[in-house]
Structure 1
Amino acid sequence: MSTQAAFAAALLDPQQPCPEGLCSANGADPASRFAVYRNNVQSSLINALADSYPVVVQLVGEEFFRAMAGSYVQSCPPQGPLINDYGKDFAGFIDHFEPAACVPYLADVARLERLRVQAYHAADAQPLSHAQIATALADPQALSELTVGLHPSLNLLTSAFAVVGIWAAHQQDASLVGVDLDHGQNALVLRNGLEVEVFTIDQGASTFIQNLRLGQPLSQALETAPAFDLSQTLALLISHNAITHLHHNQVSP
């Protein structure tokens, strides 16, 4: 192992000794100074996770979360320089973190919170005006080849639990009274201006929007989606500035 690799490994694992070869200009004990530095690095990473997953923190409590996040930091060190990217696989870690098994919806809540972070930092895109969209949708014959482009921040999550209800409850009084935890929900996440918004949509709408994201024309996207309210879904996308372009595919002769 290289000196740099050994230093990095010891930095994230408090069980490892201070790396060899360290020295201090003022005569202080290198091991003590390294321990302080290691503690600061680990605390900073745990704090970054807490900032990205505030509802997860509320669900399990500060002490439990910091212990869980500490285990994550030791097993999943940062792979890049952007702190906003750190913890993108935290939900997968929670799935296999045995002490969290008593909160079965925790990982999916983390997935929803991760999508919110991604939406906030997604690229900007100019939405089409309502008038432009209305003109394009007014031609029934062209709808079969109409491709809908969606905002880069838009994403979807399907959960066996009431993830949106759980998340929404923790934006207010943090009480889950009245939330049917085992009622599965489909979440739509997008950024409207500077505000990240979260909506509950039904399975058909989620399938339809996912088909649009895959580049399927409007009519084809409808074919494989379970029954849903198309007008309501399009109204949701339009009113929250999620449609960025419309393209009429040319039909081959």
Structure 2
Amino acid sequence: MADPMVVSQPIFTDAVLDPDLPTPPGLIDPTGRPAGKRFDVYRNNVVTSLIDAMQTAFPVIHKLVGTEFFNAMAGVYVREFPPENPMLMFYGTEFPAFLSTFEPVAHLAYLPDVARLELARRQSYHAADALGFDPQTLVDMPEDALLQSRFDLVPAAQIIRSEHPIQSIWHHNMIDNAHPVAPHGETVLIFRPEFDVDAALISPSIAHFLEHIQCGETLETAFEQTQQIDNEFDISNVITMMISTGIINKIKG
């Protein structure tokens, strides 16, 4: 088969992802004949491998809608969003947004946010390692200096807010003997304390505080901003939680 770059990259890519398109002109087999059948096999293998990658990346979505429907839906996604990165572990970034506009799943309003959670877990798994924060640093800091400091969170830390019980849905489908799913929204902190990704439910006020920290604001400013929505917000408990989950990368003055 000829090098696809000799043909035309856009034409070749379109033909690979769309079975209704003809074999691109100029493709030949080792004997010099048109590579129609060989190209059909190649095209099928490419799409199948991408659908398999989507199943691996979004196991809960796959389980919720079933294999037959998922494969058909993933086939539509693959053709609309071909991979831009040769590493398939990063494929599927646009899938949550795709689900929010995919009419056949419009009645499953929680599906896009569950996909966001699965994507965040995968991104956390592949995120850069943390520097190795020493909690003793906090103990040794004067209170005034601590309040004026800025926390750099680890790359693996992510916050997902949803009006749906996304963590409970994930847990119910991925963990044996999980508790039933309660009908309320959940806010989830994704973190990777060592090698495995973990998740914890957090309050909207904690999420608000951490988001201000992620934006580079001082501990004092983040605390004051959070008190505006929760006047009982306990900053000491949150710092303890940040240490226990290992989401502090370093402290900047």
TM-score normalized with structure 1 length: 0.90
Among 135, 149, 155, the alignment partner of 1:146 is 149
Q: Which of 69, 75, 83 is the aligned partner of 2:74?
A: 69
Gaps of 5+ in 1: 249-253
Tell me the alpha carbon deviations over residues 99-158 of structure 1, each in whole angstroms, 9 at most, x when there is no partner.
11121101100000000111111111223122222223xx22223311111111111111
Change (3 A) 1:24 1:10: same
One-letter amino acid of the structure 2 residue matched with residue 158 of structure 1:
R
Q: Is residue 2:25 matched to residue 1:20?
A: yes
What CA distance in whole angstroms lies between the structure 1 residues aligned with 2:252 and 2:76? 48
The aligned runs of 1:32-71 (5 Å cut-off) are 32-71=37-76
1:127/1:242 contact within 8 Å kept: no
Match for 1:179 among 178, 181, 185?
181
Is the 1:127–1:151 Cα contact (8 Å) retained in structure 2? no
1:154–1:189 Cα contact (<8 Å) kept: yes
Work out whether 1:157 is the aligned partner of 2:157: no
Q: Report runs of 4+ in structure 1 exceeding 3 Å deviation.
A: 26-29
* Cα RMSD after superposing both structures: 1.7
Gaps of 5+ in 2: 1-6
Structure 1 residues 174 and 52, CA gap change in structure 2 (3 angstroms):
farther
SS in 2 for 1:207: helix
1:87 maps to a residue whose letter is G
Which residue matches 1:84? 89
Displacement after TM superposition at 1:201 (Å): 0.3
**Relative to structure 2, which stretch is displaced further, 188-197 or 239-248?**
239-248
Shift of residue 80 of structure 1?
2.2
Q: Which moved more, 1:215-224 or 1:228-237?
A: 228-237
- Residues 144 and 173 of structure 1: CA distance in aligned 2, closer, same or farther (over 3 Å): closer
Counterpart selection for 2:134 from 129, 135, 138: 129
Percentage identity across paired residues of the two chains: 37
Question: Residues 64, 218 of structure 1: CA spacing in aligned structure 2 closer, same or farther, 3 A cutoff?
Answer: same
Equivalence for 1:218: 219
Query: Structure 1 residues 229 and 165, CA, compared in 2 at 3 Å: closer, same or farther?
Result: farther
Bigger relative CO (Cα 8 Å, ≥ 6 apart): 1
Counterpart residue type for residue 171 of structure 1: M
2:172 aligned residue (164, 169, 190): 169
Does the aligned pair in 2 maintain the 1:22–1:30 contact within 8 Å? Answer: yes
- Write the letter of the residue equivalent to 2:216: G
1:109 equivalent among 96, 108, 114: 114
Deviation at residue 97 of structure 1 after TM alignment? 0.6
- How far apart, CA to CA, are the structure 2 residues paired with 1:16 and 1:174? 47
Contact 2:191–2:246 (CA under 8 A) maintained in structure 1:
no
Could you say what secondary structure the match of 2:192 adopts?
A: strand
Return the letter of the residue paired with 1:241: G
Does the residue aligned with 1:188 lie in a helix, a strand or coil?
strand
Q: Give the residue type in structure 2 aligned to 1:22.
A: L
CA contact (8 A) 1:149 1:243 kept: yes
Change in Cα spacing, 1:42 to 1:174, as seen in structure 2 (3 Å) is farther
Return the letter of the residue paired with 2:154. H
How far 1:19 moved relative to its partner? 1.1
The verdict on how the C-alpha distance between 1:174 and 1:36 changes in structure 2, with shifts beyond 3 A counting, is farther
CA distance in structure 2 between the aligned counterparts of 1:94 and 1:190, rounded to whole angstroms: 25
